[in-house]
Structure 1
Amino acid sequence: MKTEAVLFTGVAAFFAVTAGTYATFADDPAGTAALIIAFLMAALVAFFLAVQYRRRGLRPQDRKDAEIAETAGPLEFLPPDSSWPITVALGSVVVAMGVVYGLWLLLIGFGVLTLGVLGMVFEHARR
């Protein structure tokens, strides 16, 4: 993960330089804000990858002397069919409609969206 951390650090540095240059020469606060947010997102991913590298060290895929057997075993848990993504999509649509039609629909949408997100998060909590 060290290589990925370095790559995302480079992406974050690019967005930081671009945001500074754009803020200096352009009179557009929306574009500057978007570039700053892109910098923050890339920096967050770079920070996460650097922390994971410090905690776990090199993965077998990163070492030149690694054997294929070292990467054998279960990779991830893939959940079966779930209805929660549909609930999240429905909640998102109702929230978007609530922005147009009124606060009452927006609050209902946030309720459905919250239910769907919590359902997705805790669906396999006892696994």
Structure 2
Amino acid sequence: MKPEALLFLGVALFFAASAVIYGWWAGDPTGTAVLVVSFLMAALVTFFLWRQDRRLGTVPQNRGQAEVRETAGRFAFFPPRSYYPVLAAVGTAVLALGVVYGLWLFLIGAGLLAPGVVGFVFQYNDPEP
């Protein structure tokens, strides 16, 4: 997953440089905020791919001389049921309503969304690929 991580690192650096240049040149806080959020999202994907590369090592898809049969077998684990996606969805909805109705509702939504996302991502920390 190292090539994918490097690709998204390039995307993140592009958005970071764009945010700095745009923020200095245009002085528009809205566009700068969008570019900063784009940088953060690309950096999050980069971190995830880097972490997967450290955890799984080199996958056969990234080797030129790999054979198709090397990718056979269990590829990923999918949990049978989880309530974290529901918590993340409710947190996102309340967070979006908080943008409209006020900071207090936004903070409640952030408080619901954070454990939903963290639980959703880390509920099964399966070391076996």
TM above 0.5, one fold? yes
Please show how residues 1-127 of structure 1 align to structure 2 within 5 Å.
1-80=1-80, 85=85, 89=89, 92-93=92-93, 100=101, 106=105, 113=112, 117=116, 121=120
Structure 1, unpaired ranges of 5+: none
The Cα shift of 1:57 comes to: 2.8
Q: 1:22 to 1:90 in 2, by over 3 A?
A: closer
Distance 1:91 1:17, change over 3 A: closer
SS in 2 for 1:39: helix
| 1:60–1:117 CA distance, 2 compared to 1 (3 A) | same
Q: Runs in 1 of length 4+ with deviation above 6 angstroms? A: 81-84
Counterparts of 1:47 and 1:94 in 2: how far apart (Å)? Answer: 27
| TM-score normalised according to structure 2 size | 0.62
Q: Name the count of aligned residue pairs.
A: 124
Structure (1 or 2) with the larger CA radius of gyration:
1
Structure 1 residue 30, shift from structure 2 partner: 2.4
Give the Cα–Cα distance (whole angstroms) in 1 for the partners of residues 85 and 56 of structure 2: 32
Unaligned runs of 5+ in 2: none
Aligned residues of 2:15 and 2:38 also touching (Cα < 8 A)? yes
